[in-house]
Every structure is written in structure tokens, then in C-alpha cells.
Structure 1
Amino acid sequence: MTADVLPALTAGARTAAHPGDTACTHHDSVLADRHDGTVVRHGDTVAKAHAPGTDRAELSRRLETAAHPALTGILLTPLRPKPVDLHGRLVTFWPYGTPVDPETPEAAPWEAAATLLARLHRTPAPAPDGLPAMRGPAKAARAIARLRAAGPHPAAAPVLRAWAALPAWARAEAPMPAAGTLCHGDLHLGQLVRRPAPAGPWLLIDVDDLGVGVPTWDLARPAAWYACGLLPPDEWTRFLTAYRRAGGPAVPADGDPWPALDVAARALTVQTAALAIAKSVGEDRPLDEVQQAVIDACDRMGFVPPELVHDPTA
């Protein structure tokens, strides 16, 4: 984040929280400051500066979707219907919600996440012709580009082999098959908040990757973690069971879910491994145990071809 944008973003959050000359005693806080976005909070208002180069028209359509009455109770509703310009960055404004506490993994809201996903997937996309594609595969492709740009690394070869074995749609090199479902695009527990804070119902946040696409992608991260041994079986079962009970269309109502999930879970595994290596090179440090487990999973993928290579919804 450039030094001149953060103060301006904070000032924008204050103005949105207190129009006019309203007295203010709230503190400012930086909730996130990453290359793909910076988020600040002032009172009950949150301002997000989106990644440089974010497409205004696409972000506007995503905001309109989040504000649509059909998504009430599923997606957090933005405070303003359009992004604003701030020092060359697009900024959006949101009500504050209480995030998932990473220090209490036993209380992780897997059932709530799965139920919200199922409801999202079952909701017809408002103005589907105007809503952009879900950006999940594009994010995976960017992770691979980052890996290649990082320079040589001994762990890169199995990751690139696993990537090359994926179907073209999962590498963002072809349109997604049967891509008419409203999808979040980047589901993980950091994408849930309670609103009203601190103990209201859970809602999904972050519309940067929202769009129409293949719904299995939204289940892919927990599926990949489970397959890599990073998510305990009982937590995966809780998530999958809740999704099915809520009528989620990404997997069959019963039986083996993996023929549907396999390609997307592989793609998320490769994406995670690619980012781990790129960060390791950039920070000049060795891979940790968790990162190595994901890379080892990529290596194993080379021995078992993807179960589905064309249509994961078949």
C-alpha cells in the first residue's frame, strides 16, 4: 500500500461513518494491508481499497449483485452502490462485521459457511448476462505466473506438472463448463463475518471474485485441505453434510462427492503450493511443514489422473 493512500483511505472511512460534522470518538484500525487490497475500519464502517488495475465496470456489477434483495442474508450488503476513486484505487464501503476467530478453530463455523454457499449457489444470478465470470481459475493462473516469475526452486517441478494436467477451464485457458451458477470465487473462513457485530448471523464478504461459474470451485479449498491432511475429517464432514442438507447443487445429494470436486480441489492445491513457493523465494526462507504437505500432494497428483477433465457438474 502506498503511503499516501492509507491516510486517504482512513479519512474516507471516517467520512462515510460520520457524514457532515458529527462528533467522533472512534479509533481507526487497519484490518488488512496486502498486495491485493487494503482494508481499514472506523467505527462501524469499513473501507476497502481494491487491487490496482481492478476493472471498474466488473466491480460495479459485483457490488450491485451484493446489494440485490435476493442476496440479503447471504452476502454482506455494501454501504454504497458504486466504487469511488482514491489515489488511483477503487474503494468500496461496508458495514463492519465480526470475523471468524482464528484462535478458536474448534468454533469454526463450517456449517454456516456451507449453508451460505448452498443458498448462494441456489440463487439465480441477478442480471446474469451482465455479471462477470467467477475469478477462481484466473486467480489460480496468476499464482502459477507468480511461481514462474519467482525463479527456480526445487519444489516447483511437481506443482507445474500438476498444473499442466488440469483441464483448460481450470487453468483459465477456456470458458468454464456449465458456468451459470452464482459463485463466491474465493471461499475460506476469512470470508465470513457476523453482522450485526458481534454476534449476528454469519454473512459472506469479499465480492472481488464473485460471478457466474462452476460451483464446485467454492468447495475446493476445504476439499483440498482435507485431501492434503490439513483439515480434520470431522470438520470436512460437517461442511459437506451442511452443504448437502441445504440443497447445494455442486455435489450429488449423497454418495461420493469426489468425481464432482476432483478438478477444482486439484486446482486449489496447485494454487496454494505455487503461492507458498513464491513467498518462500521472495522471503528467502524454507518451506514450512504445511506448505510442504501441499507440494507433496501436487507430486502425488501426477500418479492419478483427474477424475473429470471436461465438465465437473456432469
Structure 2
Amino acid sequence: MHTETVQSSLFARLVEIGRDSASVSSEPETLYDRHGVLVVRVGDVAVKAHQADREHGAVFLERIRVAVTVPDVLVGPLGPPLDVDGRTVTVSPYGEPVDPRQDPPWEEGARLLAALHSTPVPVDAPSWGRPARVARRVSELGHGPAADVVRHAFATLPAWIRGEGAEPPGASECLIHGDWHLGQMVRGRDGRWRLIDIEDLGVGDPVWDLARPAALYSAGVLHPDDWGRFLGAYTEAGGPAVPAGGDPWTTLDVPARSLAIQIAATCVISAERGNRPLDGPEQAMIDACGRISRAGDVA
């Protein structure tokens, strides 16, 4: 069966599920269709077909259980996952995503993360694990100068991030989102922002939730004013990921480098698959990897 036919069939099934779940009817709308994920809005619900290669067994059920305990911060599914032709599907309340044409809600995102990180960790909450995406992305790189720059930078990261050896003890253990960026925020009907996509929700070091904006800032892609707004709001809200009154880069350095490499690898892969040159921000991430390589290994 062709990919287009499979996707069309999946879309129809998600619409059917949405119509059974929604309290308000509307024309179905595709919200997201990338990286093996399909999200469809039907009225006041969003129906999501999750990535087929992600683990959605008992641990995912635990993440859902944890999410519903923090409803002021997280949007959890309205019920248990469904199996649709072998795909895991969840139904959640719909929320308006961040509008790229508007001023980004950096402060609101920072305050949500600070609140999540300060939430008492529920009993038997699952572990976030380790930042495995960076190694996975680097393993998918092809050949060429940009790919080589990214691989050289990756080699400077600590062994445990590269998938070799155990994570060192002593990291803070908080409830963390695990994959935070502005695309993980929606505004509900009550006008309040919340976090979505709980596949990585778990117990871990909260600094990893700050790593993506830190990486973009260090690469020159995120404006210093926006970084200042985000980090300032996080610390003012009592977020525990960085030392109060101290140098935030004592904890941010390794996560920021890791995410810079992950983002750069994703940029190279995307350009290769699209048979196109790197654009300006993408090249900035490759350049950041060059600086990481020149700085050498990090402990």
C-alpha cells in the first residue's frame, strides 16, 4: 500500500475518533504531519498518532498518569491510548499553538518549566533517561564536510551522553518535560499556556529542559534579549536548573553543547534529504559545532 494511501486512511481514522470525542464539531484540520507523527484537530480535541518506533507500553501509561496530576502545567490525554492499526493514538484537549508571527511567549514557557521542575515528584514516576536523541541523530548522518564537523563535535561530549557508560551521580532529580521548545506550548480556552507532548516526561536533571534555547543562544540563532527574557523569568520563578545568583553556564554548558550538536545533525539530515543547501540558521549551528570541536573535550 502506498504511503499516501496509508496516511489518508490514518487521517480518516483519527477524524472518526475525534468526532466521537469532541463536544464541539468543526471541519477536521491537520495540525502536524512530520517525523512519523500525525495530529488532527476535530472541534475541541486533538487526536495524535504517535511515532511508530517509540515505546508506548507501560512506561507511557505511567507518563500519562503523572501528567494528569499537574493539570495547570501539562495537557494530558483525555483517556488511555488507543491502538489504531498498530499505531498508538491519544486524544487530548485542543489548545492554540504558539503563533510564529507574534512575540514568542518566552516568559510563560520559562514559568511553566519552573513550576514543573518544582512539582513534588510523584511516587513511581518514570525516569526521563538520558539525552539519547543526540547520538541517534549523529548516527543518521551521511557523508560530507558539514556531517564531519558535527561528528567531530559529538566526539568531544562526555561518554555517557554518547551512549557509553552510566550517567554520573549527583544530578538533580525533578519532574521534567524532556523535550521542551516553544512548539510544545498551547493556550487553552481559559487563556492559560500549558505544555504538551508528554512522551519524554519523567524524572531527570531539569537543566535539559533549558538546553535547546541555550544551544540556540550560544550559536547566535536566538537573540540575546530573548534568551535573557527566558532565563530571567525561569530564575525569578525559582526554577532549580541553574544556580540562584551564580553562573548558569556551570550547569548549562554540556546540555547546550549536546543540543547544538543534535540540532546541527538534524539540519544536515534535513538538507540532505531535501537536496538543498543549508540555510543561514542551519549553517550557524554547523559553525557552533566547529567551535565546540576547537574547545575540546568536556568532562
TM-score, normalisation: structure 1: 0.88
| Residue 92 of structure 2 is aligned to residue 99 of structure 1 | no
Using a 3 Å threshold, how does the CA distance of structure 1 residues 118 and 175 change in structure 2: closer, same or farther?
farther
Report the alpha carbon displacement of residue 72 of structure 1 after superposing the two structures with TM: 2.3
**Alpha-carbon distance in 2 for matches of 1:218, 1:124:** 17
Asked whether the equivalents of residues 153 and 277 of structure 1 are also in contact (C-alpha less than 8 Å), the reply is no
Of residues 280, 283, 291, the one that matches 1:300 is 291
**Over 6 Å off, 4+ runs:** none
Q: Which residue of 2 aligns with 1:139?
A: 133
Asked if 2 retains the 8 angstrom alpha-carbon contact of 1:134 and 1:183, the reply is no
Q: CA deviation at 1:258?
A: 0.7
Instruction: Give the unaligned 5+ runs of structure 2.
Output: none
SS of corresponding position for 1:143: helix
Q: What residue number does 2:71 align with?
A: 72
For 2:213 and 2:146, locate their aligned partners in 1 and report how far apart those are by CA, in whole Å.
Answer: 23
Secondary structure in 2 matching 1:263: helix
Q: Which residue matches 1:229?
A: 220
2:112 aligned residue = 116
* 1:212-242 residue CA offsets vs partner (Å, 9 max, x unmatched): 1121111011111111111111111111111
- 1:180 alignment partner in structure 2: 173
Distance 2:291 2:35 in 1: 31
Structure 2 residue identity aligned to 1:110: W
Matches within 5 A, 1:30-49: 30-49=30-49
Match of 1:62 in 2: 63
2: CA distance between counterparts of 1:54 and 1:157?
28
Is residue 126 from structure 1 mapped to residue 122 from structure 2 by the alignment? yes
**Contact 2:97/2:183 (8 A) holds in 1:** yes
Cα deviation, residue 140, structure 1: 1.6
Aligned residues: 291
Give how far 1:306 is off. Answer: 5.6
Aligned-pair CA distance for 1:189: 0.6
Letter paired with 2:73: I
5+ residue gaps, structure 1, are: 19-23, 310-314
What does residue 87 of structure 2 align with?
89
Cα gap change, 1:63/1:100 in structure 2, threshold over 3 Å: closer, same or farther? same
Q: Is the 8 Å Cα contact of residues 134 and 210 (structure 1) preserved in structure 2?
A: no
Q: Indicate the RMSD between aligned Cα atoms, in angstroms.
A: 1.7
With over 3 angstroms needed to count, the CA separation of the structure-2 counterparts of 1:293 and 1:12, relative to structure 1, is same
One of 3, 7, 16 as aligned partner of 2:21: 16
1:312 is matched with: none
CA distance in 1, matches of 2:149, 2:240: 32
Provide the secondary structure at the position in 2 that maps to 1:46. strand
Q: 1:182-201, aligned counterparts within 5 Å? A: 182-196=175-189, 200-201=191-192
Question: Are 1:179 and 1:212, in contact at CA under 8 Å, matched by a contact in 2?
Answer: no
CA distance, structure 2, for counterparts of residue 28 and residue 65 of structure 1: 29
Shift of 1:169: 2.8
Are residues 15 and 205 of structure 1, via their aligned partners in 2, closer, same or farther at CA, if it must alter by over 3 Å? same
The TM-score, its normalising length taken from structure 2, stands at 0.92
Q: CA deviation at 1:90?
A: 0.4
For residues 93-127 of structure 1, what are the alpha-carbon distances to aligned partners after superposition, in whole Å with 9 as ceiling and x for unaligned? 100111110112xx211111111111111112212
Query: Which AA in structure 1 matches 2:258?
Result: A
The alpha-carbon deviation at position 280 of structure 1 amounts to 1.1
Q: Deviations over 1:45-77 (max 9, x none)?
A: 111111003322121111111111xx1211113
Question: Equivalent residue of 1:92, what SS?
Answer: strand
